[in-house]
Amino acid sequence: MLRVLLVNPPIYDFCAYDFWLKPFGLLRVAGRLCGHVELELFDALDRTDPRMAQGRRVRSDRYGRGHFRKERIRTPDVLGDIPRRYHRFGVPRAVFREFLQQREPFDVALVQTGMTYWYPGVREVVEDLGSRAARTRIVLGGAYASLCTEHARSLGADVVIRKNDLTPLWEELGLPPLDEAPAWWDGYARLRTGILKLSDGCPFSCTYCASERLHEGFRPRPEGVVAAEVRRLLERGVRDIAFYDDALLYRAERSLLPFLATVGGTDSPVRFHTPNALHARYVTVDLARRMLAGRFKTFYLGLESASDAWQQRTGRKLTGDEFRQAVAYLREAGATYIHAYVLLGHPHSDPDSVAAALTLAQGLDVRVMLAEFSPLPGTPDGDACSAHTDLAEPLNHNKTAFPIRLWGREAVRRLKLLCRDGNRKVILD
């Protein structure tokens, strides 16, 4: 039986935080392979791994989120103009090298990739596999592999998977296409948080979003597979589950509501979270009540901008009135933990419009999370940024770097202070 290693690389960035972060795409592929190959997982971002702590206490908040171990490193030359400290986040590199030396050789390594500008962590993994497991074939998949395929190939992997087309993987493993199966969580020694998705892709076409380049359309996942994933997470003692759906509330009567009806019968203290931004337009009185009754605890709404003109230009995601109505419905249902995402540094926006969005959300007692804009190639708004930065170098997609380059350090700092001060006046449960 083939031996397959699953790797979630470390992060190289100015900042990183464990916001219910798990390599869900990798775990889903592993679920399909379970029983056909021998699997082992190395997650360099697993904060429950004792090797992450290195003698220090790793703290989590009440919902399982927290800071990664980090070490300051030299800032890449291409980001030398950004006045921030650059770090490597995750288990020390020496731990992965030792892991490879202690294991029998793997036939194939499947490596998850995330943000395009996190590729230095992927390169590190490829280098260590090449020097310490030379006979292991390396397969890359995920966001960076799909959005920057040629750049990903330059790192030295044997196979690069784009979107959801796993044909090259089946060919590499010598297996027939395997059906969807529950995600494989057994590679973790300990689990407190987990991930779910009721659907893949998004039916909308927001000009700043890369969802269309990562998925072929919008597709609900099989209910039986999702139910099995929930059962397995609960068996592992998971208390907090985050939804990674891009459009969780879309056609809720076909996916979310049946899910809530099923989960509602389980006697569990599990709490659900929505870090991927809910479409406020689809929040109704009934849906809000059912979500609260179904143990949803934190609500993150995608506001992005308070400008109706900006919303019309970028995809007609919502209006200010729809945002206000969604907040009112959630409050009426009993929600106390509500956040709104506001884009910072979008090329068709300006600092004044960000301040207006802060005023709108915080005026409704909603905390704001500033989502710094990353100019992803292949998206209309990302490509529009080519006049401001070299998109051929993925490090220039960095969300910390681009707003500073577009608006200046002082304007970004002022907006972050304005956001922080406004959030201090908003009381959460």
Task: Judge contact between 381 and 390, C-beta under 8 A.
Answer: no
Give the gyration radius of the chain's Cα atoms: 21
269 - beta bridge partners? none
Task: Using the predicted structure, report yes or no on whether residue 55 has a pLDDT greater than 70.
Answer: no
Mean pLDDT over 21-27 rounds to 98
Task: Please state the rounded mean pLDDT for residues 404-417.
Answer: 98
Domain 3-173 and domain 193-423 have a common topology: no
| pLDDT value for 54 | 65
Tens of pLDDT, residue by residue over 160-179, are 999 889 999 999 999 999 99
Where exactly are the structural domains of the chain?
3-173, 193-423
pLDDT score at 258: 94
Pairing outcome for strands 193-196 and 367-372? unpaired
Packing angle between helix 223-235 and helix 256-263, nearest 10 degrees? 40
Say what the pLDDT of residue 133 is.
87
pLDDT at residue 212, rounded to an integer: 85
Angle at 92 between CA 163 and CA 45, to 5 degrees: 40
Q: Give the three-state DSSP class for 89.
A: strand
Model pLDDT for residues 341-400, shown as the tens digit of each residue: 999 999 999 999 999 999 999 999 999 999 999 999 999 999 999 989 999 999 999 999
Q: Alpha-carbon distance 106 to 112, whole Å?
A: 16
Q: Residues 179-224: pLDDT tens digits?
A: 999 999 999 999 999 999 999 999 999 999 999 889 888 999 999 9
d(CA 311, CA 309): 5
- For residue 386, the 8-state DSSP code is G
pLDDT score of 138 more than 80: yes
The stretch 265-282 carries a mean pLDDT of: 89
| pLDDT per position as a tens digit, 67-93 | 999 999 999 999 999 999 999 999 999
CATH for the stretch 193-423: 3.20.20.70
- Mean pLDDT of the 117-142 span: 96
User: Residue 65 belongs to what H/E stretch?
Assistant: none
CA distance 166 to 224: 22
State the alpha helices, DSSP H only, in 199-319.
211-214, 223-235, 256-263, 285-293, 308-314
Q: Please state, for a pLDDT cut of 70, what percent of the chain lies above it.
A: 98
pLDDT value at 250 more than 70 = yes
Residues β-bridged to residue 370: 342
Structure-token pair, residue 280: 């406020």
Q: Residue 129: in which H helix or E strand, if any? A: helix 119-132
CA 88, distance to chain mean position in Å, is 18
From CA 237, how far away is CA 233, in angstroms rounded? Answer: 7
Contact 378, 214 (CB under 8 A): no
Does 265 have pLDDT greater than 70?
A: no
For all residues of the chain together, what is the average pLDDT? 95
Judge whether 397 and 117 are in contact, CB under 8 Å: yes
Per-residue pLDDT at 273: 98
Fold of 3-173: Rossmann fold (3.40.50)
Structural contact between residues 163 and 214, judged by C-beta atoms closer than 8 angstroms:
yes
- Residues 234-261 have a mean pLDDT of 95
* Residue 14: exposure state from Cβ atoms within 10 A (0-12, 13-18, ≥19): middle
pLDDT in tens, 295-346: 999 999 999 999 999 999 999 889 999 999 999 999 999 999 999 999 999 9
Task: Decide if pLDDT at 270 tops 90.
Answer: yes
* Contact status, residue 376 vs residue 206, Cβ threshold 8 Å: no
pLDDT at 58: 78
Q: What is the pLDDT of residue 120?
A: 98
Give the pLDDT score at 264.
Answer: 66
| Per-residue pLDDT, 164 | 87
